[in-house]
Amino acid sequence: MTAAGVSAAAPDAALAALFVPFESGELSLPADGRVLFLRARAGVRLREMAQPGWLFEQGFLPFADELARNGLRVGEPAADEKFSLVLLLPPRQRDEARALFARALQHVAAGGVLLAAMPNAEGAKSGEADLAKLAGPVQHQSKHKCRVFWSTLSADTVDRAVLAEWLALDAPREIMDGYISRPGLFAWDRIDRASALLAAHLPADLRGSVADLGGGYGYLSTQVIARCPRVQAIDLYEAEARALEPARLNLTRAKREAGRELAVAVYWHDVTRGLAQRYDAIVSNPPFHQGRADLPELGRAFIVSAAEALQPDGRLLLVANRHLPYEAVLASRFHEVRTLVVQEGFKVIEAVGVRG
């Protein structure tokens, strides 16, 4: 548990597997030191391998902060920047992974290597097949219940049509009811049932300035705008950078459809580190896991940050899986806590009056 309240979970086995080809002698680090690591994760082996000049990209802010705390250079490559080696930890969601393979390939210099690692249980064989379809011949090794695979860039073997098709997979797209999302976000292709339950129980008299913590592509924020006419401003906080553009698009549409003046803003922010502003109300469907592991401490950290950011008479409305043990921390932070509804395995809770 970090000071921020988020478990900086140990990097999964894929990170360890990623460096196996260097240990076995199958690959060597480039002499020019030009290395880009996409979706990078911090870890002991990475600290041993990383060299000055390596660039690390990570869109999930807690993980990006962890890389920076390890003294690594975190940022984004220029659109036309090339590297002799591009490392990649592909995500499980296949459209997101394919888009990332295509983007990674664009940053590989001629004769350079694109190297990826995935757990066997999370689509490693499909990932390898996808890279082969895109880039041509692929080599692989297996270690730590993962598959690490790589391709050396040759203009003659890259399928340009597939490259263009897969690059487009990451573009924000309409999913349902006019909402914009993109592959790989939480509940990216649907309206999450828990969030919909909270939306249905939003008090019509919610007023003033509101924050949405962990707002994803913006569904809850849009519902606050649509259902609560006395709300004058809403700020959405989200740690995943890829969610920010869809969220802005969805909030802009919601504001237009509401036909009234209100201020909206979207922030790339780790909620567990606290908020700089005060609010009359906060809504949240807080995350409670990293990867496949339950992590109720994360939801509790959201509650603490919410309590610290609310006005003394402020209101917190949150939804959670029924089994999650949030009541004790809520009671310690608020004068009044009540469950509004329990339905389909979820509970909607209202907490009012921040304890001093």
User: Angle at Cα 80 formed by Cα 151 and Cα 78, nearest 5°?
Assistant: 105
Per-residue pLDDT of the chain (356 residues; tens, 9 = 90+): 333 334 333 457 899 999 999 999 999 999 999 999 999 999 988 999 999 999 999 999 999 999 999 999 999 999 999 999 999 999 999 999 999 999 999 999 999 999 999 999 999 999 999 999 999 999 999 999 999 999 999 989 999 999 999 999 999 999 999 999 999 999 999 999 999 999 999 999 999 999 999 999 999 999 999 999 999 999 999 999 999 999 999 999 999 999 999 999 999 999 999 999 999 999 999 987 555 445 778 999 999 999 999 999 999 999 999 999 899 999 999 999 999 999 999 999 999 999 98
Which pLDDT score, from 0 to 100, does residue 289 have?
56
Matching residue, tokens 């913006």: 218
Q: Among 157, 163, 165, 63, which Cα is nearest to 104's?
A: 163
d(CA 131, CA 125): 10
Amino acid type, 3: A
d(CA 32, CA 30): 5
C-alpha dist (Å) from residue 267 to 202, 206, 247, 271, 306: 22, 22, 10, 10, 15
Domains belonging to the chain, first-starting first, are: 13-169 (3.40.50.150), 173-354 (3.40.50.150)
d(CA 142, CA 119): 10
Which pLDDT score, from 0 to 100, does residue 290 have?
54
Distance from chain centroid for Cα 100: 14
d(CA 154, CA 114): 11
Q: Among 27, 63, 49, 286, which Cα is nearest to 151's?
A: 27
Burial class (CB in 10 A: 0-12, 13-18, 19+), 187: middle
Phi/psi at 216 (5° precision): 55, -135
Matching residue, tokens 């962990």: 214
Which pLDDT score, from 0 to 100, does residue 4 have?
38
Which pLDDT score, from 0 to 100, does residue 6 have?
40
Which pLDDT score, from 0 to 100, does residue 345 have?
95
Amino acid type, 151: S
This prediction has a pTM of 0.93
The three state secondary structure string of the chain is CCCCCCCCCCCCHHHHHHCHHHHHCCCCCCCCCCEEEECCCCCHHHHHHCCCCCEEECCEHHHHHHHHHCCCCECCCCCCCCEEEEEECCCCCHHHHHHHHHHHHHCEEEEEEEEEEEEHHHCHHHHHHHHHHHHCCCEEEEECCEEEEEEECCCCCCCHHHHHHHHHHHCCEECCCCCEECCCCCCCCCCCHHHHHHHHCCCCCCEEEEEEECCCCCHHHHHHHHHCCEEEEEEEEECEHHHHHHHHHHHHHHHHHHCCCCEEEEEECCHHHCCCCCEEEEEECCCCEECCEECHHHHHHHHHHHHHHEEEEEEEEEEEECCCCCHHHHHHHEEEEEEEEEECCEEEEEEEEECC
d(CA 312, CA 122): 46
Which pLDDT score, from 0 to 100, does residue 296 have?
79
d(CA 171, CA 265): 21
Burial class (CB in 10 A: 0-12, 13-18, 19+), 328: exposed
Which pLDDT score, from 0 to 100, does residue 294 have?
55
Tokens of 264: 């909206």
Q: Among 175, 173, 14, which Cα is nearest to 91's?
A: 14
Which pLDDT score, from 0 to 100, does residue 66 have?
96
Amino acid type, 204: A
d(CA 311, CA 86): 47
